[in-house]
Chains A and B, each alone.
Chain A
Amino acid sequence: MDQGIANEARLIGEVIDRNKPRLIDEWVAELTAYIRPQRGLSDNDLREQCAEFLQLLREAMGRGDLRNPSGAGWESVEDFVANLSRTRSQQGFSPTETAVFVFGLKKPLFRMLMEHGNTSPNLNHQIVLTSEFLDKLGLMTTECYQKAREEVISRQQQEMLELSTPVVKLWHGILALPLIGTLDSERTQIVMEQLLQRIVETGSDVAIIDITGVPTVDTLVAQHLLKTVTAARLMGADCIISGIRPQIAQTIVHLGVALGDVTTKSSLADAFAIALARRNYVISKRNATAQPAPNGASQH
């Protein structure tokens, strides 16, 4: 940092040091004008945050280049801003309510610079410098806020996907995956991966994919279904697709999706019966008039 800038930084720093309490008072007043009371941020909390920021700012002004608040020497300020923005975002503050933390410092600081330097030929320069570095820091809050938002959305999407389709065990070695709702490509893929994983975990030979609750099936989804069946076969298990409604059957034919030798059934019940037969189970009905056999078994 060249000597001229270093001087300005020193002067601005002195103004901050000499007026810290008043600076914080006026700054907090600016902030409370913008931040809604229901945010639950007390006056004291705000003061502490402002004080900490000023402290870090003073240290950075000594170490780094005032013109480059994302450069060397400003790391602690950057971290503070990033954490503050993230927390604000998580607490439901709006982008303005977040950015105002930095921008709210401008008016009070300019006022003080003008009071102390109204005869200084460099006053304009100091104000411009201050404005520039505060602008950059203010924009940083917006960037961090945005990033935090994106992380939340991403996490929520993941959770929704995981919760929305459980794989159930119908019987020993037979799993069912009841799909409900519209299937998009991403959701279908994730759900299919979960199914294959459960097949391995439970050692189930047969998986029934029931699409009764799926209103429409497009080519992509049909292809994913088929890929899943193929993958399951490669692993040594088999899939039956059930719950195919007449409209879906028509769509599948119109789209020219080749089901090949994949077993399909219109109802889950029929699919279950087939699955049981494949695993060599026989269901027989106990004779109503006969006594139950001593060992209670009517199975083979």
Chain B
Amino acid sequence: MERIPILRMRDLLLVTIQVDMHDRLAMTLQDDLTSAITKYSSRGVLIDISSLAIVDSFIGRMLANISAMAQVLDAKTVVVGMQPSVAITLVELGMSLQGVRTALNVDKGMELLRSILGEPPADDDTPDAGSQE
């Protein structure tokens, strides 16, 4: 059965959602992620939704659920890459995705995770990275 692949990067898990998900696939992802967090004692989860053109209330709830479940397992979640039209639609839909941290892209998502996890910022000389210039 099809599954969305979960990549492990040291103490983080990275998920890139690229397919139009049906409900069962979304539920499977939820299960797989919680299992993986436990199995690898992951401290952070990064979910890349930059390829998702549609986020409806079911998928929105899935993201909120993953965030909440991860928290229970002492892992932090950041959702990155939300497309503008998706954001506008979610606002109209009335979904606030309360409790879900977001960032514009993977780089910023990683940065956010590190700062939440209390790690020092990565040494990085791209001008838009933040504190270095």
Binding site for B on A (CB under 8 A): 172-173, 192-193, 196-197, 199-200, 203-205, 227, 230-237, 279-281, 299
Q: Which residues of A contact B127 (CB under 8 A)?
A: 172
Q: Are A235 and B87 in contact (CB under 8 A)?
A: yes
Contact of A227 among B92, B108, B131, B133 (CB under 8 A): B92
Please, how many angstroms separate the alpha-carbon atoms of A227 and B131 in the complex? 30
Q: Are B130 and A235 in contact (CB under 8 A)?
A: no
Q: Are A299 and B133 in contact (CB under 8 A)?
A: yes
- In B57-83, the 8 Å CB interface with A consists of 80, 82-83
Q: Is B17 an interface residue (CB 8 A)?
A: no
Q: Count the A-B residue pairs with Cβ separation under 8 angstroms: how many?
A: 64
Given contacts A203-B104, A236-B80, A237-B104, A280 and B88 within 8 Å (CB-CB): no
Contact of B88 among A193, A199, A233 (CB under 8 A): A193
Number of interface residues of B (CB under 8 A): 25
Given contacts A280-B130, A280-B131, A235 and B104 within 8 Å (CB-CB): yes
10 A/B residue pairs, CB under 8 Å, sorted by A: A173-B130, A203-B107, A205-B104, A230-B91, A231-B88, A231-B90, A231-B91, A234-B91, A236-B103, A237-B104
Please, how many angstroms separate the alpha-carbon atoms of A227 and B105 in the complex? 21
Which of the listed residues B82, B104, B130 has the most CB atoms from chain A within 10 Å of its own CB? Answer: B104
- In B11-57, the 8 Å CB interface with A consists of none
Chain B residue nearest to A229 in the complex (CB): B91
Q: Which residues of B contact A205 (CB under 8 A)?
A: 104, 108
Q: Which residues of A contact B133 (CB under 8 A)?
A: 172, 281, 299
Contact of B90 among A192, A234, A281 (CB under 8 A): A234
Minimum CB–CB distance for A162 against chain B, Å:
16
Q: Is B97 an interface residue (CB 8 A)?
A: yes
Q: Which residues of A contact B83 (CB under 8 A)?
A: 200
Q: Is B84 an interface residue (CB 8 A)?
A: yes
Given contacts A203-B105, A203-B108, A234-B91, 12 further A-B contacts (CB under 8 A): A172-B127, A172-B133, A173-B130, A193-B88, A227-B88, A231-B91, A232-B87, A234-B90, A235-B84, A236-B82, A237-B104, A279-B130
Minimum CB–CB distance for A262 against chain B, Å:
13
Chain A residue nearest to B104 in the complex (CB): A236
Q: Which residues of B contact A232 (CB under 8 A)?
A: 87
Minimum CB–CB distance for A125 against chain B, Å:
61
Please, how many angstroms separate the alpha-carbon atoms of A27 and B14 in the complex? 76
Q: Are B128 and A196 in contact (CB under 8 A)?
A: no
Q: Are B104 and A196 in contact (CB under 8 A)?
A: no
Q: Which residues of B contact A192 (CB under 8 A)?
A: 88
Q: Are B82 and A235 in contact (CB under 8 A)?
A: yes
Q: Which residues of A contact B85 (CB under 8 A)?
A: 193
